[in-house]
Amino acid sequence: MDDCDEVLRTSLFTYSQYNIFNQNVEVKDQNVECEKLSKEFTMYRNFKNFCQKLSGNIKNVCIFMSEPPRKREPSQERETLQKEVYCDNLNYWLYDILIKSKVPDNEKNILKSKIIHVFSKLWDTTNCNENCELSLYDIDTNDFGYMKELYDYSKSYKAMEYYTSNLDALECKSQYCSYINKVDKIYKIAEQKCSSAKDKPYCTIYDNIPKDKIPSEFFRQYKCTQNDVVESLVNDEKIFGTKFQILEYDNNYSSSVSSRVSGQDSPVALDQSTSEQSPSNNSAKVGLTLFGMSSIPLFLIYKFTPGGNFIRKLIRKNSGSMSISDNMSSQDWFGLSPEYQNDGLQNKRFEVLYQAMRKP
C-alpha cells in the first residue's frame, strides 16, 4: 500500500511538486526574518521550522525559474510558462497548509489575515519577486479549497489520460479511483456554481477543463466503482506521510494566555513530531551544475511519469530477465503526451536542485 501512495504522489504533477516543498531544509545561516517571526508566533511550536522551509522553497523556485533556457526545449516561451507553474504550485502549497492549520484569522477573506502580510514580508526578503510573487487571493477558505483541487486536477489529468488506453498498466486502481471521486465531488459543486454565475475564482479553471477530461469521464473509463473508493487513501497525511506537516498549535500557550484568547477556537494540530531533520543547505551552484544529469530518458520515464508504473510492473513480472524492453511495445514507451514527458523532465531538474541544496 505504501508503494501505491508513492505511485499517486509521483504520477500527479502538482503532488510531486508539493512532496518536494514538504521536505525539511536545515539552514546553517541564521534566517533573521524567521527568527523574528517565530517570536511573534510562539503559539505554533514548529513555526520557525516552517518559516525556514518556506524561505528555502521561495529561494529554490526563484533559482530554478532564473535558470537560462535550454536549447532542446520546444520554445523559450513555452519553457517560461512551464516554470511559472512552479511559482503557482508554491503559492497553492503555502495557502493550503495555512488553511489546514486554521491560521487565517478571517475565513471569509484570506487576504485580510495577518499571517498573509507577515509572509509577504518574508517573501520580500528573498529578493525573488521579479521571478515569483506571493499571490494575494481575495477569497474565502472554502472557495480556495475548491480552486486548489480543480487546479491540481487540471495539471494532472494528462497523467491519468495515459491509462485510458493502457488499463493493463494501471496499478493502484483504488488510489486513482478514490482521487477521481474526490475531485468529481468538487467538480460538480463548481458546475452548479459556475453555470449560473462566473463570480467564483475557480470558474476559470473549471471552464478550461475539456468536457472529455472531466473526473466522471475518467471514473467511467477506469471502470471504477464505489467499491474502489476509499476516501482515507487520498488524505494528505496518507499520500505525503510524515513530510506533510501543518503548523502545530501549542496547547500550553493557549492555557498560559487564556485571558487574551478566551472565546477563540484553538487551531487543530496534527499529532506529529517535528524532530525529523534533514541535511544542511548547500550552495545553489551545486544544484545548477547537476541539472545536466537530469536528461537520462529511461530514468525519467521510470521515476516521474505514469509510464514508470508500467515499467515497475514489468520488472516485478520479469524479475531476473536481462531486459524488459522485449516485453514493451514502442506505443507503451512513447504513448505519453509530449506535454507530460516535459513535465517529467522539469520535475527531475527541480528535484535535482533541491537535493543538491540539502547536501551538507
> For 61-74, how does the pLDDT look when each residue is reduced to its tens digit (9 = 90+)?
988 888 776 655 55
**Statement: residue 213 has pLDDT above 60:** yes
The candidate with the shortest Cα–Cα distance to 335, out of 209, 163, 168, is: 163
Q: What pLDDT shows up at residue 31?
A: 81
In degrees rounded to 5, what are phi and psi of residue 213? -120, 15
Tell me how far the alpha carbon of residue 215 is from its chain's centroid.
Answer: 19
The candidate with the shortest Cα–Cα distance to 83, out of 356, 354, 349, 352, is: 349
Name the 3-class secondary structure at 269. coil
State the Cα–Cα distance between residues 327 and 357, nearest whole angstrom: 39
Rg of the chain, C-alpha, whole Å: 21
Domain ranges within the chain, ordered by starting residue: 2-358
Mean pLDDT for the chain overall: 74
Tell me how far the alpha carbon of residue 338 is from its chain's centroid.
Answer: 21
> Greatest CA span in the chain, whole angstroms?
72
State the Cα–Cα distance between residues 151 and 329, nearest whole angstrom: 33
State the Cα–Cα distance between residues 24 and 6, nearest whole angstrom: 18
pLDDT digits (tens, 9 = 90+) for 142-200: 999 999 999 999 998 888 888 777 777 677 889 999 999 999 999 999 999 999 888 89
